[in-house]
Amino acid sequence: MIKPAREPPAGQQSNFDNPNREMYYICIVSNAVAIPICSIFVLLRLWVRYRLSMRLQADDVACIVGYIGFMGYCTICLLMLRYGGGLHQWDVPEHLVTQYYKASDPRVPTLLQTVYATMVNYGPTVFAIKAAILLFLARIFSPYKTYVKWIYGFLGVMAVYYVVMLFLKIFICRPIPMFWGATTDGKCFNQRALILTDNVISLLSDIVVLLLPCPLTKKLQVGLMAKLKIAAVFGMGGIACIFGLIRLVFIIKDGKSPDQTYKFVQINLTGIAECGIGVVCACFPFMPMLWTSILHKDKPGYSSNSKSQFEMMNSSQKRSRNATHNQASIHYNDAADSDENILITNGKSYVTTKVHGGDDITEHGSASGNSDGFRASLDDSRIYRTVEVHQ
């Protein structure tokens, strides 16, 4: 007679032939949905970046690193299913659980080894995803120097924290194999306290990243509808915060549950949702530019960037054109590296047009022998007009 790894709760019986596989299938379906969606968004983001500049920026590199970490997290979660994950522990034969937890053969992977792998993988993955979002925000709002300094400061604090936490997780037990029961000689940190602390700080940082764009979104020179669209783009991060909170609740509630083969997979599913939504959020601001490109809405000579400037002048006025060009170069120096045009493709922009006129009069003045003075007066006369551009 097969003995269950753990006695079933009152009113239930062990079922080795046809166990409850609900969590098992949820894990498979979740990964089957999350992996292709995130892959598509990352590829689309990189395609948009290629069309814009043909070179990767720091936020793109961070997004790629986060995506690789996310794929690793999903792979480990699927491996858990092979070692009893997703089944209630009383539906698993005792000899299998003994092998999983006591690791009678150190060469055989165990469930706790996959738990260890997800624990180590989680921190670098969420940090890379948050870094991708923060670095993109820094490029969007690059003209606002003080704001950008706060972004980099917060990013630096997070980097220090996640590096320290990574080492604590790697060496949670000394020696490391003690974590999955390969040896009993050694010491371990308080696993529950470490994971709780990490998830609390991760949730708080998620909220900070979510709220960071809010103060400056209203300063963008675009219409109300464009601002609402921008808020919706960054507001998707709120869904990741919700799953981060659910993950924290599960850890507090079920962290000490004896039904670990089931609960570990449940907790990891919230991690997949949190990281997957984070990857999508890091890529989603590029989608308006992609949509515009697909619909061929870009028009020659037109820019929807709020700092766009149109100059209308006659080609014969070379000296005036060069002076205006130099003035514009100084005016836009701070915004040269901004990614605002990625985020705002169809908003209403406020631009200043400069109209230079007088070619016919200039030619007349040259014929009368008083061209120099007359041309200077024309070069100094400009018509400034602020217009609202609708797309």
Tens of pLDDT, residue by residue over 332-389, are 444 445 555 565 554 444 444 444 444 444 444 444 444 454 444 434 434 444 444 4
Most confident of 10-14, 100-104, 273-277, 318-322: 273-277
Least confident of 41-55, 219-233, 235-249: 219-233
Q: How many CA atoms lie within 13 A of 192 on its CB side?
A: 9
Inter-CA distances, 374 with 212, 324, 366, Å? 54, 19, 8
What dotted CATH number matches 22-293?
Answer: 1.20.1070
- Inform me whether the pLDDT recorded for 26 exceeds 90: yes
- Inform me whether the pLDDT recorded for 181 exceeds 80: no
Q: What is the pLDDT of residue 217?
A: 72
d(CA 44, CA 294): 12
Is residue 132 within a helix (H) or strand (E), and if so which, with residue range? helix 111-140
Most confident of 22-36, 93-107, 252-266, 373-387: 22-36
Contact status, residue 354 vs residue 318, Cβ threshold 8 Å: no
d(CA 142, CA 305): 14
User: Cα 222–223–226 angle (5° rounding)?
Assistant: 80
Q: Give percent of the chain with pLDDT exceeding 70.
A: 67
Bridge partners of 387, per DSSP, are 351
Least confident of 107-111, 205-209, 270-274: 107-111
Inter-CA distances, 351 with 50, 232, 298, 309, 384, Å? 27, 25, 17, 6, 10
Q: What is the pLDDT of residue 309?
A: 36
pTM for this prediction: 0.74
Inter-CA distances, 122 with 92, 149, 244, 272, 284, Å? 27, 27, 12, 10, 22
Domain ranges of the chain: 22-293, 309-389
d(CA 221, CA 306): 5
Average pLDDT of the segment spanning 115-141? 92
Q: What is the pLDDT of residue 340?
A: 57
* More confident site: 276 or 254: 276
Is residue 116 within a helix (H) or strand (E), and if so which, with residue range? helix 111-140
* More confident site: 261 or 222: 261
* More confident site: 107 or 268: 268
d(CA 220, CA 343): 11
Which residues, 6+ apart, have CB-to-CB distance to 354 below 8 Å?
309, 310, 311, 312, 313, 324, 382, 383, 384
Query: Residue 388 corresponds to which amino acid?
Result: E
* More confident site: 359 or 14: 14
pLDDT band (50, 70, 90) for residue 97: low
Contact status, residue 272 vs residue 31, Cβ threshold 8 Å: yes
* End-to-end CA gap in the chain: 75
Tokens (6 digits) for 8: 């079933």
Average pLDDT of the segment spanning 232-240? 77
Average pLDDT of the segment spanning 178-204? 86
Q: What is the pLDDT of residue 221?
A: 67
Most confident of 46-50, 121-125, 282-286, 340-344: 121-125
Tokens (6 digits) for 22: 């609900």
Whole-number mean pLDDT of the chain? Answer: 75
Return the number of other C-beta atoms located less than 10 Å from residue 218's C-beta. Answer: 11
Q: What is the DSSP string of 135-162?
A: HHHHHHTTT-HHHHHHHHHHHHHHHHHH
- Tens of pLDDT, residue by residue over 68-79, are 999 999 999 999
Q: What is the pLDDT of residue 339?
A: 59
pLDDT band (50, 70, 90) for residue 297: low
The sign of the torsion formed by the CA atoms of 194, 199, 202, 208 equals: negative
Q: What is the pLDDT of residue 93?
A: 72
The separation between CA 257 and the C-alpha centre of its own chain, rounded to angstroms, equals 32
- Inform me whether the pLDDT recorded for 291 exceeds 90: no
* More confident site: 29 or 186: 29
> Would you give the DSSP letter of residue 309?
E
Contact status, residue 222 vs residue 348, Cβ threshold 8 Å: yes
The separation between CA 59 and the C-alpha centre of its own chain, rounded to angstroms, equals 9
Most confident of 97-111, 323-337, 367-381: 97-111
- Inform me whether the pLDDT recorded for 158 exceeds 50: yes
d(CA 184, CA 178): 6
Which letter, b or e, does each residue of 158-169 get, where b requires 16 or more Cβ atoms within 10 Å of its Cβ?
Answer: beebbeebbeeb
Q: What is the pLDDT of residue 69?
A: 97
Contact status, residue 319 vs residue 379, Cβ threshold 8 Å: yes
